[in-house]
């Protein structure tokens, strides 16, 4: 999961939904039969944290209103259950959690559902560490274990989709039943500026010549040591850059991973000496585990275009800087500040002056859950879901190939 601690207050403006429109939309959902959910994981991604706007349970509440009934909560620790249930008991949606049953492993819950098939939830919300799912290996094969018994199940799965070898993650994707409804949490695809850019490319029948994605990270408050340890975080491309590798694929198509080439500035290169580290790296991180300060990758898309991605750990303020550019014959599309207040600029053959697209208050998390829950309930098309399991594995593959490249 991404760590944007430095932007907790000022950034992620897109996560501040426009209250009046949300209330209007939610009113339609408050009337109807209960919609049952099982939530896997009691951490920040499902129940909120000070590090960012993610809070899957809050989005469930906003989309479903009081129709929401969380009937199962799963994590290994009783104290985690108590913490989140106490938190929810103090909210207007307390009644959504008053019939919850607590489970401590996926195996335990799957066994319970096998014995009580009438209690299968309408949706599973999976926000747990990647090493515990997304694999064919026993103990990490949660998706396959669920879908083997309940092939019609609806699963929302947070990224990273897996921590397994890429080949193993693809093996899982190939076994996902066609009848299952799967959505993976690449929320930036749901931004209105991203959807507008896709619309322009589609309507103008453009062939993408290049994508250029940039992620500049502010580091001076990032004192979570594990983030700086390659074997624990997976490195900055896997941990932070995954959304921008995914957006690159969203615009450019599938990647010929044999063409990936990478250059880096490492911690022991002269430009890699960071002057404002938030902890003593010499004491906390062994040299062989230290992450690169700058990564530049370039690749060829299978459709013929070229993609590039850079990740930089040099900014010393609190705000991150992000951008993705898409170029095609006659068109230059540029999306800036994707984690703050996103804006799309478009230059076209009609004018050298850029046209600006801006959607204040846009909330991609809400849009993401609305698409998934409507598909799960049969009220909306599955095509509204922007990332399924196989697609997410392809983005995972790209980040892993970049990280492993010599």
Backbone angles phi, psi at 87, to 5 degrees: -60, -45
Q: Where are the alpha helices (DSSP H) in 100-151?
A: 106-115, 142-149
Q: How far apart are CA 361 and CA 16, in angstroms?
A: 6
If DSSP codes are grouped into helix, strand and coil, which group holds residue 164?
coil
Tell whether the model's pLDDT for residue 38 goes beyond 80.
yes
Give me the percent of the chain exceeding a pLDDT of 70. Answer: 92
Rg (CA), the chain: 21
3-12, 26-35, 355-364: which range is least confident on average? 3-12
- Banded model confidence at residue 51, pLDDT cuts 50, 70, 90: low
- For residue 18, what pLDDT band results from cuts at 50, 70 and 90? very low
Q: Ranked by mean pLDDT, which of 11-15, 219-223, 290-294 comes out on top? A: 290-294
Cis preceding-peptide flag for 160 (omega within 30 of 0): yes
Range of weakest confidence among 11-15, 76-80, 358-362: 11-15
Interval 98-136: pLDDT, tens? 999 999 999 999 999 999 999 999 999 999 989 899 999
pLDDT above 50 for 198: yes
Mean of pLDDT over the chain: 92
Q: What is the mean predicted confidence (pLDDT) over 216-228?
A: 92
Check pLDDT > 90 for residue 236: yes
Predicted pLDDT at 16? 43
pLDDT value of position 123: 98
Q: In this predicted structure, what is the pLDDT of residue 248?
A: 98
DSSP 113-145: HHH-GGG--SEEEE-S-GGGSSSSSTTS-HHHH
What torsion, rounded to 10 degrees, do the Cα atoms 3, 6, 9, 12 define? -50
Q: Is 168 helix (H, G, I), strand (E, B) or coil?
A: helix
How confident is the model over 243-259, as pLDDT tens digits?
A: 999 999 999 999 999 99
17-186 is classed CATH 3.40.50.880 = no
For residue 388 the two structure tokens come to: 């399924």
Where in the chain are all domains bearing CATH 3.30.360.10?
Answer: 188-361+390-404
Of 103, 238, 110, the residue nearest 166 (C-alpha): 238
pLDDT, position 29: 61
Pick the more confident residue, 19 or 362: 362
Whether residue 331 contacts residue 346, with contact meaning beta carbons closer than 8 Å, is answered with yes
| Domain 188-361+390-404 fold | Dihydrodipicolinate Reductase; domain 2 (3.30.360)
Instruction: Give the Cα separation of 17 and 15 in Å (integer).
Output: 6
Residue 153 parent element (H or E): none
- The model's confidence at residue 68, banded by pLDDT at 50, 70 and 90, is very high
Mean pLDDT (whole number) for 290-305: 98
């Amino acid at each position: 999961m991404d760590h944007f601690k430095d932007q907790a207050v000022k950034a992620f403006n897109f996560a501040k939904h426009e209250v009046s429109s949300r209330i209007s939309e939610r009113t339609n959902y408050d009337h109807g039969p209960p919609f049952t959910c099982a939530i896997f994981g009691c951490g920040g991604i499902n129940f909120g944290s000070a590090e960012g706007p993610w809070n899957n349970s809050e989005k469930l509440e906003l989309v479903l209103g009081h129709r929401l009934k969380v009937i199962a909560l799963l994590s290994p620790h009783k104290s985690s259950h108590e913490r989140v249930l106490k938190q929810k008991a103090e909210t207007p949606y307390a009644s959504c959690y008053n019939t919850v049953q607590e489970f401590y492993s996926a195996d335990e819950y799957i066994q319970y559902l096998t014995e009580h098939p009438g209690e299968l939830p309408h949706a599973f919300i999976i926000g747990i560490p990647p090493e515990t799912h997304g694999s064919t290996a026993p103990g990490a094969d949660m998706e396959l274990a669920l879908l083997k018994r309940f092939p019609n199940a609806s699963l929302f799965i947070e990224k990273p989709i897996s921590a397994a070898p890429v080949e193993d993650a693809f093996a899982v994707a190939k076994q996902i039943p066609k009848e299952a409804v799967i959505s993976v949490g690449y929320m930036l695809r749901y931004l209105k500026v991203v959807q507008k850019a896709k619309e322009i490319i589609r309507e103008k029948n453009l062939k993408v010549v290049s994508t250029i994605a940039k992620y500049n990270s502010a580091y001076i408050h990032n004192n979570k040591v594990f983030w700086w340890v390659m074997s624990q975080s997976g490195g900055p491309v896997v941990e932070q850059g995954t959304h921008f590798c995914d957006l690159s694929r969203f615009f450019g198509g599938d990647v010929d991973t044999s063409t990936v080439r990478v250059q880096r500035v490492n911690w022991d290169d002269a430009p890699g000496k960071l002057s404002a580290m938030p902890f003593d790296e010499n004491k906390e991180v062994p040299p062989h585990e230290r992450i690169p300060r700058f990564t530049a990758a370039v690749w060829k898309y299978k459709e013929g275009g070229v993609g590039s991605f850079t990740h930089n750990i040099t900014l010393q303020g609190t705000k991150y800087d992000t951008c993705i550019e898409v170029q095609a014959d006659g068109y230059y599309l540029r999306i800036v500040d994707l984690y703050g207040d996103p804006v799309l600029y478009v230059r076209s053959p009609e004018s050298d002056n850029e046209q600006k697209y801006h959607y204040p208050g846009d909330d991609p998390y809400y849009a993401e859950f609305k698409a998934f829950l409507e598909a799960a309930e049969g009220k909306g098309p599955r095509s509204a879901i922007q990332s399924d399991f196989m697609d997410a594995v392809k983005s995972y593959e790209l980040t892993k190939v970049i990280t492993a490249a010599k």
